[in-house]
Structure 1
Amino acid sequence: MRFDLPRLDADGSLGLRQYRGQAVVLNFWASNCLPCVRELPILNAYAASAPRQRLIGIAIDTRAAAQAFLRSHPASYPQALARPDLLPIFGNQIKGLPYTVILNSQHQVCTRRLGPVDAAWLAGAVAACARP
């Protein structure tokens, strides 16, 4: 699986190629999604507690709205911008948010969750998907 998305928090693009051989957590969110706001502290805490784990936030939004959201709700992990048509590629046909996908080290979908994650689910799912 490959993609390159424009970054929201820095110049350039963000893709999976820079995480070759590593499991990756993709968290899809939007600025008008209240459950996404509630989930952000959990994701920030996870990113701080597991710095070797790769976590990417992907906004399904306009650039202006996503950047304004991140100014008032800072994220401690890389952020990118995508269109809603990326969601079905990762198994989210209804395009609901928040949506979290965990890719294994070969970047195949290992597990996914529609709705907010909690710390226990995230840690357990990442551990299961990181196994060879």
Structure 2
Amino acid sequence: MLPMAMAHDNPPALRLPTLDGQRLVTLASFHDRPVLLNFWSSSCVPCVRELPLLQAQSQTSSMAYVGVAIDDPAPAAAFALRVGVHYLQLAAPPADGAALLRRFGNRLGALPYTVVLNRAHQSCAMRLGAVDTAWLQSSSLACN
């Protein structure tokens, strides 16, 4: 687990397609709203285990929950549908995954990885490894 982080001055760039390929999403899409980014893969066991918790928390949070599947889009979309994940899911090609993770503070490139961005979309909390309810709640309070 990585400790809480100081906010970065400039938000990292993010421009990815949805898993279904219907549209491109940027951080600007979440104007003045905190965002939780959860990087995952369908082949990552801890990622799979935390998805139901993230789905449940996304239903009651004022924060935007966004999954970033570092996976091939078609199998990732089928997997997300099968396990009942309904919050926004984006597709990041596996070849670009390591660079994207580094951009958001994950130098190891390991999954799962979760970053919470404040209203200015600056990183204010990050966690390498599966999240739990306590971490989600404390991060939400710290980053709102």
TM-score (norm: length of structure 1): 0.92
Partner of 1:90: 104
Partner of 2:36: 25
TM-score (norm: length of structure 2): 0.84
Count of paired positions: 129
Alignment of 1:105-116 (within 5 A): 105-116=119-130
Distance 1:58 1:95 in 2: 13
Shift of 1:10: 6.2
Partner of 1:121: 135
Alignment of 1:56-71 (within 5 A): 56-71=66-81
Distance 1:44 1:91 in 2: 23
Moved over 3 A (4+): none
The aligned amino acid for 2:114 is T
Distance 2:29 2:17 in 1: 14
Partner of 2:8: none
Among all aligned residue pairs of Structure 1 and Structure 2, give the percentage whose two residues are the same amino acid: 44
Give the secondary structure class of the aligned counterpart of 2:136. helix
**Quick check: 1:9–1:78 contact (8 Å CA) kept in 2?**
no
Shift of 1:9: 4.5
Query: 5+ unaligned residues in a row in structure 1: which ranges?
Result: none
* Pairwise CA RMSD: 1.3
